């Protein structure tokens, strides 16, 4: 490489390092270390086809991917003899996969999702040419169940596909699966499918709660979770878990690869399963729980500091996302804060230290006008 390109590369690395320091508004863990895996970057590891069937291409990480699937299936209390899934490119692909399976089972169904659903949901609905109805969310991001019931009742002759948020993007609100199932029962809906978008919260809520209300034991059919968020990874990745008997409806044997085509992508990133496997094995459930508790403690600290300075804020139960009045644009750009309708949020991801939080508050208290500190009252409006 020429000297000019070398300088450009070094400058790019330094810029990324600096920008990473000020990234507190988006859910990316920063404390991962995969140094022991660097040798694998010499090889074109690609997972082609179903991870439970060895394909013709042997430079894969299927064996490790299956262990990752097994771990998350246990985390989400999937049926021991009836689960499958794969490592995805991220939560959006996992949501597409869940909707794809649901459409194959109930092609005439209507998809119900809240107004706070991730943007991948409406995009995937368009890609799959599905009918859908948006249900309004309340002021903190949770689905309006009365509105859901009325809408389902009006279309009770059609199957139902529910997209439940387990941690919305802006407020980390959770939709309640038992309540949704009660509505389905009340409306006499027998043909339904429930998919959970648990991109951020899915990796740690099951560790904090004795009986997570959004898992397979509570009646869901599939769930998508990101790997690069709470666990951490240098590349975006995720995991989707689905009932095995549903996945088998998609399978088509492809002679070229010598395997079943049951995933969205063809050649999938074979390094991502190794990252997730390494992190899960290194941390274990106890280590992951400790990370969750540390993030939760940091979120409580952020909320307390905001309240002490009379800045309107709120935090949903067991959330590591703290929502508060939007500061000025310059500060939002510096600290890469996601904003919406006059509010912003800070996500206390693993790797974000107390020193970083204190540096943010030093900037915030200098730039936030006193007149704006109580802009939103006791809760931030989402509509």
| Domains in the chain: ranges and CATH | 3-31+285-372 (3.90.1150.10), 35-281 (3.40.640.10)
Give me the pLDDT at residue 256, please.
85
Give me the pLDDT at residue 362, please.
95
Residue matched to tokens 């008997």: 245
- Judge whether 165 and 116 are in contact, CB under 8 Å: yes
In a structure prediction context, what are the per-residue pLDDT tens digits for the chain, which is 383 residues long?
779 899 999 999 999 999 999 999 999 999 999 999 999 999 999 999 999 998 899 999 999 999 999 999 999 999 999 999 999 999 999 999 999 999 999 999 999 999 999 999 999 999 999 999 999 999 999 999 999 999 999 999 999 999 999 999 999 999 999 999 999 999 999 999 999 999 999 999 999 988 899 999 999 999 999 999 999 999 999 999 999 999 988 888 888 888 888 999 999 999 999 999 999 999 999 999 999 999 999 999 999 999 999 999 999 999 999 999 999 999 999 999 999 999 999 999 999 999 999 999 999 999 866 554 444 444 444 44
Give me the pLDDT at residue 255, please.
87
Instruction: Give residue 379's Cα distance to chain centre.
Output: 24
Sign, CA dihedral 278-283-286-292, equals negative
Across 240-250, b (16+ Cβ under 10 Å) vs e yields bbbbbebbeeb
Q: State the pTM of this model.
A: 0.93
Nearest to 237 by CA among 204, 203, 209: 203
Q: State the pairing for strand pair 343-347/267-269.
A: unpaired
Rounded Cα–Cα distance for residues 158 and 90 (Å): 30
Give me the pLDDT at residue 322, please.
98
Rounded Cα–Cα distance for residues 38 and 332 (Å): 35
């Amino acid at each position: 490489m020429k000297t000019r390109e070398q300088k450009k590369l070094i400058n790019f690395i330094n810029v990324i390092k600096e920008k990473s320091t000020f990234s507190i508004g988006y859910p990316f863990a920063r404390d991962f270390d995969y140094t022991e895996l660097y040798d694998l970057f010499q090889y074109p590891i690609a997972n082609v086809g179903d991870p439970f069937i060895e394909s013709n291409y042997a430079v894969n990480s299927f064996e490790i991917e299956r262990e990752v699937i097994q771990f998350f299936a246990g985390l989400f209390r999937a049926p021991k003899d009836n689960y499958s899934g794969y490592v995805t490119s991220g939560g959006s692909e996992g949501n597409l996969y869940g909707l794809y399976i649901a459409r194959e089972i109930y092609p005439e169904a209507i998809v119900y999702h809240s107004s706070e659903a991730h943007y991948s949901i409406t995009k995937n609905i368009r890609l799959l040419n599905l009918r859908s109805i948006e249900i309004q969310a309340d002021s903190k991001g949770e689905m309006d169940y009365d509105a859901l019931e009325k809408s389902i009742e009006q279309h009770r002759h059609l199957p139902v596909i529910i997209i439940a948020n387990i941690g919305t993007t802006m407020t980390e609100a959770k939709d309640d699966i038992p309540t949704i199932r009660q509505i389905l029962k009340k409306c006499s809906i027998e043909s339904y499918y429930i998919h959970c978008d648990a991109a951020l919260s899915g990796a740690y809520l099951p560790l904090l709660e004795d009986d997570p209300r959004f898992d397979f034991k509570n009646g869901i059919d599939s769930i998508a979770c990101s790997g690069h968020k709470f666990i951490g990874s240098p590349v975006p990745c995720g995991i989707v878990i689905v009932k095995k008997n549903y996945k088998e409806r998609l399978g088509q044997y492809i002679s070229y690869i010598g395997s079943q085509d049951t995933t969205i992508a063809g050649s999938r990133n074979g390094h991502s399963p190794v990252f997730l496997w390494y992190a899960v094995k290194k941390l274990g459930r106890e280590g992951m729980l400790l990370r969750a508790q540390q993030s939760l403690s940091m979120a409580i600290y952020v909320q307390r500091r905001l309240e002490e300075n009379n800045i309107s804020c709120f935090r949903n139960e067991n959330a590591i996302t703290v929502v508060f009045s939007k500061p000025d644009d310059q500060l939002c750009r510096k600290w890469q804060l996601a904003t919406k309708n006059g509010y912003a949020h800070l996500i206390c991801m693993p790797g974000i230290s107390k020193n970083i939080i204190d540096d943010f508050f030093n900037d915030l208290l200098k730039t936030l006008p006193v007149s704006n500190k109580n802009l939103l009252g006791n809760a931030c409006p989402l509509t």
